[in-house]
Amino acid sequence: MSSLDGKVAIVTGGASGIGARTCELFAEAGARVVIGDMQEERGQAVAAELGKSAVFQRTEVSREDDVRALVARAQQEWGRLDCIFNNAGFGGALGPVAETPVEEFDLTFAVLVRGVFLGMKHAAPLLCRQGGSIINTASVAGLVAGWSPHAYAAAKAAVIQLSKSVALELAPHRVRVNAICPGFIATPLALNTVGRTASASEADAARETMAAAQPIPRPGEPDDIAQMALFLASDSSTFVTGQALSVDGGFSSGRRWEDQPDMFRKYRPFRVYRPS
């Protein structure tokens, strides 16, 4: 028996990158999946590849009516919901704080925070019927400053805390809530090519930068995050809730060993003090 046999899951941002790979992995594990995304053509293509295991629902996660309809689609198609992966996102507002337009800051929070809130709000009543899993995409940017735009970092920190808070509310109903904190993952969002395919030179340059950014010397792949989502969606994680789980090649643990000062890395004998 596969780990998600009989389960129904929603994946937002499921048309590309981490979301698309998660939809594939969930379907391979036996789940039926509702794919929510604004990219209609790509979302329909992912659903077609997965056949009877998936349907596509056009969704803008910052709009409550869209999210309400997305959750209703799971109920309509398969009569239940066991997991929602609130994964949709984008880079958001860029630049210095004094130059950031308020409307761009608000849009960043509308997608990255309100979208997660709405997913949890509308999924919770169905999940509480039999228990289940809410998975929210946060980021190491919500844990460590200096590696992302201001609004993105703040929004992802909010997702982490919101996940922990809602986990406490829903735990008695056997609904667990966790946040995944990806590091440098080679996705259209990270390559700044959402809606198009990155050129070979763009992809190679980005991957080289990512590989040098964390202790495990390779860029993260969508499958790395999808595998964690699979674990959190499955019954293997029924005692895991309220956690922010970093999947980042060790980035959030600190500087790479080779970047640390020689005085820490090189052995030098020292005289041990022995009281007389």
Alpha helix stretches (DSSP H) within the chain: 17-28, 40-50, 64-78, 102-109, 115-127, 150-170, 200-211, 222-233, 262-265
- Could you confirm whether 273 is annotated as catalytic? no
Token look-up 């052995």 returns 267
Q: Of the listed 152, 156, 176, 232, which one is catalytic?
A: 152
Look up residue 7 and give its DSSP letter.
Answer: -
**Cα atoms in the 13 Å half-sphere on the side-chain side of 213:** 19
Task: Measure the CA–CA gap between 31 and 132, rounded to whole angstroms.
Answer: 13
Tokens of 51: 């056949």
Task: Measure the CA–CA gap between 130 and 175, rounded to whole angstroms.
Answer: 8
User: What residues are labeled active site?
Assistant: 152
